[in-house]
Amino acid sequence: MLDIRDTLRCLCESSGPSGYEGEAAAAAARLLAPFTERVETDRLGNVLGFLPCGEENAPVVLLDAHLDEVGVMAAANEEGYVQFRTIGGLDPRVLPAQTVKFLTDPPVYGVIACLPPHVQTADEQKKVQGVPDLYIDTGGIEVAVGTPGVFTGDGFALGENQYVSKALDDRACFAVILRALELLPATELLRGKKRRVDIAVSGSVMEEVGGYGARTAAFRTRPEYAVALDAGYGKAPDSPAESAFKMGGGPVIALGPESSRKITDKLILTAKEREIPYQLEVYPGETRTNGTDISLSRQGVATAVLSVPVKYMHTTVETLHLKDVENTARLLAEWIIGLDGAGGEDA
């Protein structure tokens, strides 16, 4: 049985900022290989896995989770300090005192400089420094302009059921896909029903900077159906009630014009029938996930978005509930077995 903690550790402790996902992609490919008939990497860097069902002209279901993480890029060197820009969306409030690893050979480590409170004025203590005002202290080592870097931090358990790491957005969802693939044979046996759809898996690149990897992955795999899996907003004491979701409350199903109503209705029905907890999120416009790019591929793809609630997103302490990983995987496996192979007619 897949050890989810070990899988998350392997994926999340690999480095892979947007556009430089090579190390994370290699880890993802190794983990995916036992569950698919073949794995390939496309020109953009997406990791693609294929698992046919054995029926001729069977429709394709694409399961997508992005592999990139937020990071930094060296912009200039100034007296032993590195000016930088961010890769992906980062909150400047959490940057001071973070540790950074630049992806050189060997790696160069640094810390984002911060002014001690003892020497700050009252106004300075209230002010959030913007990225242009921050520097990475590398101990005097120059870093070539354009060098990418990631934040450091090892994963660890938080209480009995939660797990903390960088890059859970969105490698946790790649772990969900792996677990769903592991569950499929047992689900087929339990339901007495053989899968009638081919499965394509995409560990996509560059989601944090525009969803580019998902576009090429969908074009390559030609799916009739797709589920884009991404990190959703987990509920914490200071989070807005209308847009954050209960940790341990199950996968979050997106509802809105961008999501295929046939698929979302079937996911909800499946969750109810199999007694899998789930939550609903309303998106009256774009979901701002890979679901947007996948749905517009070729002549269009019936696409849904599933989320795993994650607290403290885009920090080094992203946090999830392990039951949400398992229940999202269960829902995916049950939904896939429930498809009748009608080529897009029954999602």
CATH number at residue 279: 3.40.630.10
Specify the pLDDT at position 133. Answer: 87
Look at the chain and report how many structural domains it folds into: 2
Question: Percentage of residues in the chain with pLDDT exceeding 70?
Answer: 95
Do the Cβ atoms of 32 and 182 come closer than 8 Å? Answer: no
Other beta carbons within 10 Å of 3: 9
Do the Cβ atoms of 221 and 228 come closer than 8 Å? Answer: no
d(CA 215, CA 187): 30
Looking at the fold, whether 247 and 297 belong to one and the same domain comes out as yes
Mean pLDDT of the chain: 94
Enclosing H/E stretch for 151: strand 148-151
Burial of 125 (0-12, 13-18, 19+ CB in 10 A): exposed
| pLDDT tens-digit series, residues 181-220 | 999 999 999 999 999 999 999 999 999 999 999 999 999 9
Across residues 76-84, what is the average pLDDT? 93
d(CA 184, CA 328): 13
Q: Which residue has tokens 């829902």?
A: 331
Across residues 43-47, what is the average pLDDT? 97
Looking at the fold, whether 28 and 53 belong to one and the same domain comes out as yes
Q: Is residue 283 part of a domain?
A: yes
Q: Is residue 159 part of a domain?
A: no
Specify the pLDDT at position 240. Answer: 81
Residue 120 pLDDT greater than 60, yes or no: no
Looking at the fold, whether 84 and 48 belong to one and the same domain comes out as no
> pLDDT band at 286, cuts 50/70/90?
confident
Do the Cβ atoms of 330 and 191 come closer than 8 Å? Answer: no
Looking at the fold, whether 176 and 314 belong to one and the same domain comes out as yes
297-to-162, 212, 219 alpha-carbon distances in Å: 36, 12, 6
Domain stop point among 127, 151, 175: 151
Structural domain boundaries enclosing 10: 4-69+166-338
| pLDDT tens-digit series, residues 86-98 | 999 998 889 999 9
Looking at the fold, whether 77 and 45 belong to one and the same domain comes out as no
120-to-111, 137, 168 alpha-carbon distances in Å: 19, 19, 34
Residue 118 pLDDT greater than 70, yes or no: no
Q: How many residues are recorded in the chain? A: 347
Given CA atoms 331, 337, 338, 340 in this order, what sign does their dihedral have?
A: positive
Q: Is residue 217 part of a domain?
A: yes
Q: Is residue 328 part of a domain?
A: yes
| pLDDT tens-digit series, residues 11-41 | 999 999 999 999 999 999 999 999 999 999 9
Specify the pLDDT at position 29. Answer: 98
| pLDDT tens-digit series, residues 299-326 | 999 999 999 999 999 999 999 999 999 9
Looking at the fold, whether 77 and 184 belong to one and the same domain comes out as no
Specify the pLDDT at position 343. Answer: 54
Q: Is residue 188 part of a domain?
A: yes
Looking at the fold, whether 95 and 37 belong to one and the same domain comes out as no
Where on the phi/psi map is residue 314: left (φ > 0), alpha (ψ -120 to 50), or beta? left
> pLDDT band at 243, cuts 50/70/90?
confident
CATH number at residue 123: 2.40.30.40
Looking at the fold, whether 280 and 188 belong to one and the same domain comes out as yes
Looking at the fold, whether 271 and 318 belong to one and the same domain comes out as yes
Do the Cβ atoms of 129 and 112 come closer than 8 Å? Answer: no
Specify the pLDDT at position 289. Answer: 95
Scored b (16 or more CB within 10 A) or e, 134-159 reads bbbbbeeeebeeebbbbbbbebeeee
Q: Is residue 287 part of a domain?
A: yes
Residues near 50 by beta carbon (within 8 Å), at least 6 away in sequence: 36, 37, 38, 39, 40, 198, 199, 200, 201, 221
**What are the residue ranges of helices labelled H in the chain?**
4-12, 22-32, 122-126, 168-191, 212-221, 261-273, 290-295, 322-338
Looking at the fold, whether 327 and 249 belong to one and the same domain comes out as yes
Radius of gyration, CA atoms only, the chain: 21
Domain stop point among 123, 151, 179: 151
DSSP-based three-state secondary structure for 170: helix
Residues near 71 by beta carbon (within 8 Å), at least 6 away in sequence: 17, 18, 20, 86, 87, 88, 148, 149, 150, 151
Looking at the fold, whether 47 and 21 belong to one and the same domain comes out as yes
- List the helix and strand counts (H, then E) for the chain: 8, 17
Residue 108 pLDDT greater than 80, yes or no: yes
Looking at the fold, whether 19 and 124 belong to one and the same domain comes out as no
Q: Give the relative orientation of helices 4-12 and 168-191 as an angle to the nearest 10 degrees.
A: 150
Domain stop point among 151, 181, 210: 151
Residue 242 pLDDT greater than 80, yes or no: no
